[in-house]
Chain A
Amino acid sequence: MARAATTADAFNAVAEPRRRQILDVLAGGERPVNDLVALLGLAQPQVSKHLRVLREVGVVDVREDGRQRLYRVNGYALKPIHDWVQGYERLWSERFDQLDVVLEELKDEEGESDGE
């Protein structure tokens, strides 16, 4: 049951630091597994295991290219995560829009008292 939860969705799949590193590398362009092994200094079975998890939730796609398989990030699958932070950003944006209104009033008041 706990095992199912770790791979249930993009959030859980990318909660693992190594998997985030893999995505960071793939964000720069598609790569074969050997590149990931070299760049991250991990053993190939470990990288393959992480890639499997990332593929299961759709965050990483793979395609055959001759004799090698190339992995790449599927940005669309990461959108829920993006939206999650966006929600927080929206909260503060709306707060600050209200703050703009308050500041305009304070500026007006200050301008009036300066003029007297």
Chain B
Amino acid sequence: MTKALRIIRRGGVLTVLGLLGLVAVYILALVYTPTEVRQGLAQKIFYVHAPAAWAALMAFSLVGTVSGLYLWLRDERLDRFAASSAEVGLVFSVIMLTTGPIWGKPVWGTWWTWDARLTLTLFLFFLFVGYLALRAALEDPGERGRFAAVVGLLGLVLVPFVHLSVYLFRTLHPQPVLVKPSAPSMPPEMLRTLLISFGVFTLLYLGFVMVRYGLQLATDEAAREAHDAG
């Protein structure tokens, strides 16, 4: 039991640091960064939307790859990690799905559009939900681990197909402003804030996953003790 508690504690520290970092990001984004001329204040949503998207995508990719590894190696730690990453990923994809339209309405004039990125966001959300729903519906831990891993792996493989099929239609999403061979077309305050925000969201992801992992470990061990005793 203590190992689980240690993991939870460490995860908790990371989470608290992440939360403090988030406060810093809020101050930086709302006060320090200049207002963008074309999009107005709404542009600042970018500083939380993009890092959340990054975290959700990272969470999803990890669920997929770790699921594949689990199917191969059958190490229950992998399953525990995948479950944790899925739950945390769901949280970040909810942020993506809400901040996306809130940003879209003032900037593109519409709450929703079936462009490449918003659609992928929705898919990720449904895949996370499906993964977690299946886990919740299965009692036997072995079956739960294996079946969830199948969904995780297949889900990851699905993403390029989603991307490709949606890309075959026009996209409204703003073109990437960061990745350019020369300097990014962003003033330094914006870039700095954005990078710090990416770091903070990554930290939050790690903290959340660690705590969730520890909780899962604790539950699994308690279940095992009950099973052995009964």
Whether both chains belong to one complex is answered with: no
Interfacial residues, chain B to chain A (CB-CB below 8 A): none
Interfacial residues, chain A to chain B (CB-CB below 8 A): none
